[in-house]
Amino acid sequence: MLKTITRKMRWMACAVSFSCFIVPVAPALAAVQPLTLEAAVQQTLQNNPQLHQFSYTRTRLVTEREASALKPGYELGMELENFAGTGDTSGFDSAEITVALSSVIELGDKRESRISVVDARLDRFELERQAQTLDVLGEVTRAFIQLLSTQEELKLSSEAVALSKGLYKTVQERAKRGAASDA
């Protein structure tokens, strides 16, 4: 007798603690909007890490294109000779300083060629980004359809359970009245 009372108290304690967790969550669940395919696609486009990598790669390629469009820079060179000698060439009296300013002269539209190479990389990148985006969105659509299918299966299963319970109740009543056997 004491064991059954203790068990009942344990079950009641479990039920009370469970209800403490469920009650605060229930209003939050009621406010949740049903998920639509459009919302799932938007959430995926905003939060998918596979798609976020493309923004960094695109920034890198655009920066590379801008760098390719620049003209070659100028270099300033300086050379100092005969500055620490002895005798007539002691100190800085006979020192020679050479200053050079140089730049690469590009012939044959090399800059335009560099730019077109980076443009081709950008075009390939855009195609890869679109293909990856379509792959991810295809997976989202497939998962969404699977979700809808599972939801409908659950509805049908709950309807089947309800029908079975109703049929069971009907058979029990007929068995009580003697219209059907207990088997």
- The predicted pLDDT at position 12 comes to 46
Asked whether residue 116 falls in the same domain as residue 61, the answer is: yes
Q: Are 144 and 37 a contacting pair, CB within 8 Å?
A: yes
Residue 145: closest CA among 46, 37, 34: 37
**Count of structural domains, the chain:** 2
Asked if the structure places residue 90 within a domain, the reply is: yes
Asked whether residue 89 falls in the same domain as residue 137, the answer is: no
Asked if the structure places residue 16 within a domain, the reply is: no
Residue % of the chain over a pLDDT of 90: 38
Domain boundary among 105, 129, 160: 105
Asked whether residue 129 falls in the same domain as residue 50, the answer is: yes
Which CA distances in Å does 131 have to 51, 71, 121, 138, 141? 11, 35, 15, 10, 15
Confidence of residue 28 (pLDDT cuts 50, 70, 90): low
Asked whether residue 81 falls in the same domain as residue 99, the answer is: yes
Rounded average pLDDT over 24-50? 77
Burial grade of 181 (CB within 10 A; 0-12, 13-18, 19 or more): exposed
Domain boundary among 83, 105, 127: 105
Please tell me the least confidently modeled range out of 51-60, 75-84, 119-128: 75-84
Asked if the structure places residue 40 within a domain, the reply is: yes
Asked whether residue 114 falls in the same domain as residue 159, the answer is: yes
pLDDT for residue 95 is more than 90: no
Asked if the structure places residue 31 within a domain, the reply is: no
Asked whether residue 122 falls in the same domain as residue 65, the answer is: yes
Rounded average pLDDT over 92-101? 82
Residue 122: closest CA among 38, 167, 64, 49: 64
| Residue 53 structural domain | 36-71+110-183
Asked whether residue 116 falls in the same domain as residue 99, the answer is: no
Domain boundary among 90, 105, 120: 105
Asked whether residue 122 falls in the same domain as residue 179, the answer is: yes
* Structural tokens at position 124: 């390939």
Q: What pTM did the predictor assign?
A: 0.55
Asked if the structure places residue 118 within a domain, the reply is: yes
Please state, in angstroms and rounded to a whole number, the distance separating the CA atoms of residues 150 and 161: 16
Rounded average pLDDT over 122-137? 94
Asked whether residue 170 falls in the same domain as residue 135, the answer is: yes
User: What kind and span of H or E run contains 96?
Assistant: strand 96-103
Asked whether residue 52 falls in the same domain as residue 97, the answer is: no
